[in-house]
Structure 1
Amino acid sequence: MPETNLFAIFGTDEGRVNEEGHGLARKLSEGLDPEFGLEVINGQADNADHASQIVGRTLEALQTMPFFGGTKVVWLQGANFFADNQTGKAQATLSAVDSLSDFLEAGVPADVQFLITASEIDKRRAFFKKVKKFAKIATYDKADIKKGGWEREVMDLAWIKAETLKLKIGHEALEHFVRMVGPDTRLLQNELEKLSLFVGEREA
Structure 2
Amino acid sequence: MANNVYLFCGNDEYLVGLNARKRVDQICPAAEQSLTLEVIDGTAAKIDDAVAAVDQCVAGFRTVGLFGGKKVVWFRDVSFLKNAVIMKNADVKRLLGELASDIKAGLAEDQFLIMSAPGVDKRSAFYKAVKECGEISEYDIPERDYEARPVAIKRAASLFKREGLSIDSAATDAFINKTGFETRQIMNEVEKMVLFKGADKNITLADVQLITSTSGEAIAWDFTDAVAERRLADAIRIFRQLLFQKQTAIGLIIQLESLFQNLLRFREYMEAGWLRMNGNRIQWSNDQEIEDYFSEMPEDPRKMHWFRASKIANHAAPYTVRALAARKTLVVDTHEKMVSGGSIPHELMFETLLAKICAPKRRR
TM-score interval, normalised by the smaller of the two chains: 0.7 to 0.9
Report the counterpart of residue 153 of structure 2 in structure 1. 155
Q: What whole-Å deviation, never above 9, does each CA across 1:134-164 have from its counterpart, x for those lacking one?
A: 1111111123343x35322123333454456
CA RMSD of aligned residues (A): 2.2
Q: Relative to 1, partners in 2 of residues 1:57 and 1:149: Cα closer, same or farther, differing over 3 Å?
A: closer
What does residue range 120-135 of structure 1 map to in structure 2 within 5 Å? 120-135=119-134
Q: How many residues align?
A: 200
- SS of 2:38's partner is strand
Report the counterpart of residue 192 of structure 1 in structure 2. 190
Runs of 4+ with >6 A deviation? none
The residue type equivalent to 2:74 in the other structure is W
Aligned partners of 1:32 and 1:72 also within 8 Å: no
What does residue range 107-146 of structure 1 map to in structure 2 within 5 Å? 107-146=106-145
The Cα shift of 1:106 comes to 1.0
- SS of 2:68's partner is coil
The Cα shift of 1:14 comes to 1.9
Q: Does 1:9 align with 2:39?
A: no
Q: Relative to 1, partners in 2 of residues 1:4 and 1:175: Cα closer, same or farther, differing over 3 Å?
A: farther
- Return the match for 2:166 from 164, 169, 179: 169
The residue type equivalent to 1:202 in the other structure is D
The Cα shift of 1:104 comes to 0.9
Moved more, 24-33 or 122-131: 24-33
Report the counterpart of residue 49 of structure 1 in structure 2. 48
Q: Relative to 1, partners in 2 of residues 1:32 and 1:135: Cα closer, same or farther, differing over 3 Å?
A: farther
Greater helix share, structure number = 2
Q: What whole-Å deviation, never above 9, does each CA across 1:102-151 have from its counterpart, x for those lacking one?
A: 111111222112111111111111111111111111111123343x3532
Aligned partners of 1:143 and 1:154 also within 8 Å: no
Aligned partners of 2:58 and 2:95 also within 8 Å: no
The unaligned stretches of length 5 or more in structure 1 are none
Report the counterpart of residue 105 of structure 1 in structure 2. 104
The Cα shift of 1:86 comes to 1.8
The Cα shift of 1:31 comes to 6.4
The residue type equivalent to 1:21 in the other structure is A
Percentage of pairs with the same residue: 26
User: For residues 12 and 149 of structure 1, what CA distance do their matches in structure 2 show?
Assistant: 15
The unaligned stretches of length 5 or more in structure 2 are 204-364
